[in-house]
């Protein structure tokens, strides 16, 4: 009964969306009724693109994920080819992750993003990843050897907050950034032996891969966007020891600096809150507290500078600093729009103010 209900619900959705019978062509020979694809990968190919789709693994762990691959001039043609290969109806409305291989992203990520935007089954809240130093199809296939790409990616996404240098990004997020300021970013990952690991961000400019935000720059991205939940920083204290500080929050403001109507620079102001997570530092000692806060401010300031320098080097406002500056000084919005093209050469200052407390201290 459950299978019939799912099939009936899917049929109703398709009728409401205006899909005709030709859109219901199936592909999977070994699955009956419906194959729910959970992960989609797109790679560059000599004749167009290579598309890989994967289901999830069985709930009991005894059923392996099903993987389908197709090469065609376009993503749409590849998907239709998959649907024409078997006896089951292949449904892409459950795809939760879209993976782009690095060569494809360098050639053009726009086709894959546009496919998600326009296809009747795909969803804009699909999470986007760029596979560094590899292909999406190979990563998906290897993950299916012992589980599924969907399961491993979902587990990785839940842990991204603990890494503090990566965050989930949807196709909608990336498309909005590209439309608004011509640049955006998406989590970068490495795939090895069927496992995935987050390695910062892929920077997209004009729909293609322009570079990578790694290490300190990746931390800086999260700081600028206030997405730091569990960053642990080692800071020296008087006496030669060190203390572990857990960053639990960050709030940043971007202010434009004008002289005689000319945009001359940006001021970055960041407030960082942290808890004492380890060490014997006495926070009641003003000298110790000042040393910890100064050390944390210096560390986080360097990370923000690394992210800003990367954006200027690539000529990619992937952090949408223009909108942030405009929100801080809306009366200068006209000048910002007219002069923003010179932002890669602008001077900027970074000021980070850190506050350190004990983790059990509820005082604000």
pLDDT profile of the chain (364 residues), mean per 10:
42 43 40 77 95 81 80 94 73 93 96 95 95 94 88 79 73 96 95 89 96 95 87 84 89 94 95 88 88 95 97 96 95 94 93 86 45
Confidence (pLDDT) at 43: 97
> Do 340 and 346 meet the contact criterion of CB atoms below 8 Å apart?
no
Q: Two tokens at 143?
A: 């993950």
Confidence (pLDDT) at 238: 80
Interhelix angle 286-314/215-224, nearest 10 degrees: 100
Angle (CA) 196-246-160 rounded to 5° is 20
Confidence (pLDDT) at 10: 45
The residue with tokens 């965050």 is 167
- Global pTM reads 0.85
Element (DSSP H or E) covering residue 158? helix 149-163
Confidence (pLDDT) at 30: 46
């Amino acid at each position: 009964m459950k299978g019939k209900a799912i099939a009936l619900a899917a049929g109703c959705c398709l009728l409401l969306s205006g899909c005709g019978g030709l859109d219901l062509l199936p592909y999977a020979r070994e699955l009956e009724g419906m194959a729910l694809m959970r992960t989609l990968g797109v790679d560059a190919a000599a004749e167009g693109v290579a598309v890989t789709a994967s289901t999830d693994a069985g709930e009991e762990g005894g059923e392996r994920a099903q993987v389908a691959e197709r090469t065609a001039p376009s993503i749409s043609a590849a998907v239709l080819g998959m649907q024409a290969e078997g006896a089951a109806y292949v449904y892409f409305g459950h795809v939760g992750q879209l993976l782009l291989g690095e060569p494809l992203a360098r050639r053009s990520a726009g086709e894959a993003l546009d496919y998600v935007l326009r296809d009747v089954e795909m969803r804009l809240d699909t999470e986007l990843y760029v596979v560094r130093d590899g292909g999406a199809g190979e990563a998906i296939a290897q993950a299916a050897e012992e589980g599924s790409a969907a399961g491993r990616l979902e587990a990785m996404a839940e842990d991204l907050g603990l890494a503090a240098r990566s965050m989930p990004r949807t196709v909608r997020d990336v498309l909005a950034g590209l439309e608004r300021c011509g640049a955006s970013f998406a989590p970068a990952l490495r795939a090895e032996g069927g496992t995935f690991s987050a390695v910062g961000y892929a920077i997209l400019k004009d729909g293609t891969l322009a570079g990578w935000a790694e290490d300190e720059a990746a931390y800086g991205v999260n700081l600028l966007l206030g997405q730091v939940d569990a960053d642990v920083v080692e800071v020296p204290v008087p006496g030669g020891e060190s203390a572990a500080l857990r960053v639990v929050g960050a709030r940043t403001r971007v202010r434009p600096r004008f002289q005689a109507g000319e945009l001359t620079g940006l001021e970055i102001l960041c407030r960082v809150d942290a808890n004492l997570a380890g060490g014997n530092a006495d926070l009641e000692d003003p000298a110790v507290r000042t040393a910890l806060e100064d050390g944390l401010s210096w560390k986080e300031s360097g990370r923000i500078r690394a992210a800003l320098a990367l954006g200027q080097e690539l000529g990619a406002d992937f952090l949408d600093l223009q909108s942030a500056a405009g929100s801080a000084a809306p009366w200068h919005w006209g000048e910002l729009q007219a002069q923003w093209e010179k932002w890669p050469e602008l001077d900027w200052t970074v000021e980070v103010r850190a506050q350190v407390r004990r983790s059990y201290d509820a005082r604000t």
